[in-house]
Chain A
């Protein structure tokens, strides 16, 4: 039997300060055999550990098309994330995964895709964005609507212009009213409002959405108004998790374990679940 709770040891290869409280970490597998064999799909997550403090759950924020490393993006908010935040290049941390299901990219072939993200919710969406941009010809028009509370809260600022340069790809950036700076050239407004103004094509389109629960709540009616069908809207539920493997009993919504049957659900699937997420 293998110890399913034993993490891979990872070397912190690069640290990028996304915001005042959020960092991206590039991680390399210390075991070369694992580094070669490790595969995952966009939307999957892992348990990241700062030894001595514990484990935290985040998505894998890099794309499966970028081999040999993984990236995570996290906000300093508790004991574990504070320790991870304070770690340095060259340090060792733990990683277990990949866990959960993924965004069904095979179903998105040839379709227009609109990505909608709020705040640090861009991290799991970014994995799919790079995945799609790296295989650009397989998909139709790509629209990215990204908002944060303030300019200082935007993550992946350096990558947003890069995405906009891809063929047939539109990037719309926004901050909440009051969150703009003098030199802000993006939009000012809440994500649901900006999405409605952007008016992405829904007839052959799918929408992927990730952000705070309140943003998702107000964005779903807009997607409906724009003509997106519930089965073509996908989100990723980020419930609190400890084991990641369907044992510890805290991430369930109804009889669904988010860590195993999720974290990716269509809006149609969400409608079948009790409203407890």
Chain B
């Protein structure tokens, strides 16, 4: 039984890392908090849901398409909402970014509800109920697939941030945007790309939600809560430790679900959040 809980915790936890990484990237680079991150996940989920039901495209195949569409949406969001924020005094930007993305939730969620009703939707593939058994531990195929996708995303993101010019400029800007700007990095373009990638990652996570759980227009905030707890777990502004933090949260959460039941999953997240802030506000992994 313990093996089952831990295996499940790992699968859920790595996925939590995927949920949080887009938010962590945006916060780490731009110092903006995107409260609408979960709502973007839902939109990504809807795109893959309709690709599946209307065109019979398997969600794992549609992930690149979803990410591309969400990347473009992220660029539009930057152009319309985030770039005007640059005119605000530096001390006000973070708070204002929360206010406008909070307003954005209202817009996005209700547009989704208007277009596609508020019924929950799930992608039901032929392999949705299939599990494989290894040493008595049952592993759902869809979750294993999401695990694989997350690893690909981690590696791709790592290579992008460390090996490409854009990736390096994103890291430099996250470190110190004024110095980066002096060295000739185009800050506006870096922010544009970072915001596109952040929303694209939300889209990938949303596809996985539609496959493993269900999506509905108002489901975004619940996932935002998970992403935020992971962020605080990793230490705000840390992109690298997000997957590690997600993994830990997943294991703790699954263990608690086994003992006290799934109704209190959100409360467990909250308790962990408060404990972290009381004892290790800089995050679990920082010295």
Bind each other? no
**Interface positions of B (Cβ within 8 A of A):** none
**Interface positions of A (Cβ within 8 A of B):** none
